[in-house]
Amino acid sequence: MSEPRDEEAWLRTQYEMAHHDIWWVKAQQMKVGHWTLLLLAALVAVGELIKKDWPGSSALGWVLVGLSVAVTSLGVAHVWDLYATLVRSRNRAALIVRPLKDPAFDDAKRTGKRHLSFPIAITALLLGALTLTLLHFIAAWHLSVTTATVDDQGLHQGNSLMALPTEVIAALFGAGAGAVSSVGIEWGKSVIRRRRRAKAIKVALYYEIFGHSIVPVDPAPDGQPNFVVLGFARASYDAYLDEIPDLLQEGLVGDASTYYAKVTTAASQQALIEDDITKAREVARKLGRLGMESSRLPVPEDEPELLKQEARQVADRMSKVMAQNRILLSVALWQQEQLLATLRKEFKDDPSERPLNVPPKYREWARTAIEKQLSG
């Protein structure tokens, strides 16, 4: 990076990623642990209430055992899914800041597989709570792993599910079916929402990247190509930055981040080049005026040398920045084509394929200008 100001946007990006993937996900892991413990406590309370009405029904005890195992399993699975999301987000953040050389980004470039003790501790806590819950149900309902025979079940009322009242059986099966269908519906809705959101982000990125004009201009005297970037904006990219790593494919996230990093740096350095051109002209004018005044007035001996030294410094910095911009924009031009080809698959309305038109009074000029550009 040429100046500290160029890194400020990336620092903000890294802080947003850190806030999103560390604080939010860790908070969710703690909430999942709390919710699972509360559900286990609720099952114990429900078991005590039911036991008063059906004290001899071991089937209800086994239902409570199954529900406890299911609740804990889902809680543990969700904790580790959040940890996997945390690792993916950190790895993508590391990919975004990889081109930056400032030591402030060293920690962000580390692998995302750290703080493993956090989900392990929550898992151990939930398994310990499940063990206590199962021991309570086994003792309270006198459960045994040995399966009773059909005759024994007929002799002892309440030792099988068939001994339960019809309304209880219907309620249990209805609750189970309702839970399964609710989970399925919510999961399907979340998948559809994520796909729609991902498509909307891709379309927004396509139109924004399509508007970036990386234009080849007159080459340098030694034949090296020169480029300028026009119409550069990153409003859509910054607006969806929190969602891009979660909703888009990892390869597309990496390509887009490196493209925006290169073009952002090139655009800022392009402004620096223009400032250096202005400074070089000012130094040249000062040297010219100084030469004219030296014939009439005494001039300090070191003033011309200082101006020449300033001119050399400006020229050296400008040549180095221009050389870096050539590389950045040439690579970005190729990345732009690849990104547009990938994002174009999301929709049929391609702005590059629309017929171009201008107001009637400019049509003859536009036709001539386009033909001249195509021929030249």
Please report the DSSP string for 118-159 in residue order: HHHHHHHHHHHHHHHHHHHHHHHHT--SSPPPHHHHHHSTTS
Q: Is residue 46 part of a domain?
A: yes
Beta bridge partners of 215: 228
From first to last of its 376 residues, the chain has per-residue pLDDT tens of 444 445 556 656 665 666 566 677 778 888 888 999 999 999 888 888 888 777 666 778 888 888 999 999 999 999 888 888 888 777 777 777 666 666 666 666 676 777 788 888 889 999 999 898 888 888 887 777 554 444 444 434 444 444 555 555 556 666 666 666 666 777 777 788 888 888 888 988 998 998 898 888 888 888 888 888 888 888 888 888 888 888 888 888 889 988 998 898 888 888 888 887 888 788 777 777 766 666 666 666 667 777 778 778 878 887 888 888 888 889 999 999 999 888 888 777 666 666 767 888 888 887 787 777 666 5
Q: Is residue 372 part of a domain?
A: no
In this structure, are 240 and 155 located in the same domain? no
In this structure, are 150 and 213 located in the same domain? no
- Where is 117: in which H helix or E strand? helix 117-141
Number of H helices and E strands in the chain, helices first, is 11, 2
Q: Under 8 Å CB-to-CB from 122, ≥6 apart: which residues?
A: 29, 30, 32, 33, 79
Q: Is residue 186 part of a domain?
A: no
pLDDT computed for residue 259 by the predictor: 92
How many domains, in total, are found in the chain? 2
In this structure, are 12 and 128 located in the same domain? yes
> For residues 148 and 159, is the Cβ–Cβ distance under 8 A?
yes
State how far Cα 343 lies from the chain centre.
17
In this structure, are 158 and 214 located in the same domain? no
For the domain that residue 307 is a member of, what is the CATH number?
1.10.287
In this structure, are 92 and 32 located in the same domain? yes
Q: Is residue 356 part of a domain?
A: no
* Alpha-carbon distances, residue 256 vs 72, 217, 243, 262, 339 (angstroms): 39, 25, 13, 10, 7
> For residues 243 and 197, is the Cβ–Cβ distance under 8 A?
yes
State both tokens at 309: 């030294």
Q: Is residue 306 part of a domain?
A: yes
Nearest CA-CA partner of 22 in 102, 80, 85:
85
Q: Is residue 369 part of a domain?
A: no
63-75 b/e (C-beta count within 10 Å ≥ 16 → b):
bbbebbeebbeeb
pLDDT computed for residue 150 by the predictor: 40
In this structure, are 9 and 154 located in the same domain? yes
Question: What domain range includes position 59?
Answer: 5-164
Q: What percent of the chain has pLDDT over 70?
A: 71
Q: Is residue 183 part of a domain?
A: no
In this structure, are 159 and 274 located in the same domain? no
Q: How far apart are CA 376 and CA 372, in angstroms?
A: 6
Instruction: Decide which of 108, 130, 164 is a domain's last residue.
Output: 164
Q: How far apart are CA 8 and CA 239, in angstroms?
A: 17
pLDDT computed for residue 232 by the predictor: 87
Q: Under 8 Å CB-to-CB from 284, ≥6 apart: which residues?
A: 311
In this structure, are 344 and 278 located in the same domain? yes
In this structure, are 258 and 335 located in the same domain? yes
pTM: 0.52
State both tokens at 165: 């009242």
Half-sphere exposure of 175 (CA within 13 A, CB side): 7
pLDDT computed for residue 27 by the predictor: 80
Collapsing DSSP to helix, strand or coil, 301 comes out as: coil
Q: Is residue 365 part of a domain?
A: no
Q: How far apart are CA 133 and CA 224, in angstroms?
A: 74
In this structure, are 26 and 149 located in the same domain? yes
In this structure, are 67 and 154 located in the same domain? yes
In this structure, are 143 and 214 located in the same domain? no
pLDDT computed for residue 154 by the predictor: 44
